[in-house]
Amino acid sequence: MPFLEISREEVVGRIKNDLESCVGMRMKLRANVGRCKIIEKEGILQETHPHLFVVRVDEQREKSRLVSYSYADILTKTVELTRLDSGENLLPWLSGE
């Protein structure tokens, strides 16, 4: 089914389902946090919830912190998740790769 023919709710549901299968996976997170500032961190997908997902990102000196994003952030490309080992997008169907 072409991407343009499915509703936003169906796309967000598919993003959620795909991320549920990636819980525990190490990944690279790239997020646009506004005012032309982009952060890039490595982390582990900790958990998924009905409207958001949580990533434990690595910080300096062996510390980490939890950050959460909505599935709509992925849909709007505010957040991008890629595999750490290969660099490929975790959701290639969304970006048309």
Among 2.60.40.420, 2.30.30.100, 3.30.2290.10, 1.10.357.10, name the CATH number for the domain at 3-85. 2.30.30.100
Q: What is the 3-state secondary structure (H, E, C) of the chain?
A: CCHHHCCHHHHHHHHHHHHHCCCCCEEEEEEECCCCCEEEEEEEEEEECCCEEEEEEECCCCCEEEEEEEHHHHHCCCEEEEECCCCCECCHHHHCC
- Residue 78: pLDDT above 90? yes
Spans of all domains in the chain: 3-85
pLDDT tens profile 8-47: 889 999 999 999 999 999 999 999 988 899 999 999 999 9
- Is residue 96's pLDDT more than 90? no
Q: What is the pLDDT of residue 67?
A: 96
